[in-house]
């Protein structure tokens, strides 16, 4: 099956710093999603991004489908950005289930 | 946006008892429901996929007789952990599929502790 790998596994930032999180996937995909899981466990959908670049405030994401990777950029990080960031690929021929990467745990210090 | 209600948020139960977790989609109808389990410091692992009115499809290694899933309506699905043991302690998350949008929605999760 498809393998999804994320890096780095952990990241500590000072408030205001920028960061780039990476997601590699082993096979062609039709859909890739980025999620943020806050410290209380709630998952929030950040981006649906099968290809190209999208921006939402201080966050942006780029997927290069032909090279099988996606990047999540966080600019001017805030303490509320802390949590775990997951990327996941969608398996449409299996009911649309998600295959998650292992996540990047981000801690933003004041 | 899609609103999902999952409860209880946390539950402590004795070994050997059963626990039921409910997941409701409040403002949309979900023909498909995904149930995930997440152990501490780990990723989400899909347990099963259920479609309204039909039997759930379980992932390899997940015991269907232990984790009973009911998806009798388009707005409610339940996961029952039967004869729970300490190794079942985990964070369980439901995800009703909202086909109106490309995004995915998630319940707030249930933290189960079996003592």
Which chain A residues are within 8 Å of B49, Cβ to Cβ? Answer: 94-95, 97
Q: Per-residue pLDDT for B61 more than 80?
A: yes
Using an 8 Å Cβ cutoff, are A78 and A108 in contact? Answer: yes
- A interface toward B at CB cutoff 8 Å? 31, 33, 35, 40-43, 45, 48, 86, 94-103, 105
Distance, CA of B94 to CA of B88 (rounded, Å): 16
A92 band by pLDDT with thresholds 50, 70 and 90: confident
Distance, CA of A88 to CA of A23 (rounded, Å): 9
Q: Per-residue pLDDT for B104 more than 70?
A: yes
In this predicted model, what pLDDT tens digit does every residue of A19-74 receive, in sequence order?
999 999 998 887 899 999 999 999 999 999 999 999 999 999 999 999 999 999 99
Could you say which of B41, B43, B57 has the minimum Cβ distance to residue A101?
Answer: B43
Pick the closest to residue B4 from B75, B53, B110, B71 (CA basis). Answer: B75
Pick the closest to residue A83 from A7, A10, A5 (CA basis). Answer: A10
Q: In Å, how far is B96's CA from the nearest CA of chain A?
A: 11
Distance, CA of A41 to CA of B17 (rounded, Å): 25
Predicted pLDDT at A35: 96
Q: Per-residue pLDDT for B103 more than 80?
A: no
Pairing mode, strands B110-114 and B4-7: unpaired
Pick the closest to residue B39 from B30, B49, B31, B47 (CA basis). Answer: B47
């Amino acid at each position: 099956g498809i393998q999804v790998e994320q890096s780095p596994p952990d990241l500590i930032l000072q408030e205001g710093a920028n960061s780039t999180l990476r997601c590699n996937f082993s096979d062609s995909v039709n859909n890739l999603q980025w999620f943020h899981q806050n410290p209380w466990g709630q998952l929030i959908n950040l981006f649906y991004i099968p290809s190209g670049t999208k921006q939402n405030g201080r966050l942006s994401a780029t997927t290069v489908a032909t090279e099988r990777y996606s990047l999540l950029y966080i600019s001017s990080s805030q303490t509320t950005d802390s949590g775990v960031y997951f990327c996941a690929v969608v398996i449409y021929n299996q009911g649309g289930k998600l295959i998650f990467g292992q996540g990047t745990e981000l801690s933003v210090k004041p | 946006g899609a609103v999902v209600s999952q409860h209880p948020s946390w539950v402590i139960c004795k070994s050997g008892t059963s626990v039921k977790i409910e997941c409701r989609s409040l403002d949309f109808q979900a023909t498909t429901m995904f149930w995930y389990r997440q152990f501490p410091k780990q990723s989400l692992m899909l347990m099963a996929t259920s479609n309204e009115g039909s039997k759930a499809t379980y992932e390899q290694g997940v015991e269907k007789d232990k984790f009973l899933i009911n998806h009798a309506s388009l707005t409610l699905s339940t996961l029952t952990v039967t004869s729970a043991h300490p190794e079942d302690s985990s964070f369980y998350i439901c995800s009703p599929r909202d086909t109106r949008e490309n995004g995915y929605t998630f319940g707030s999760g249930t933290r189960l502790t079996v003592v």
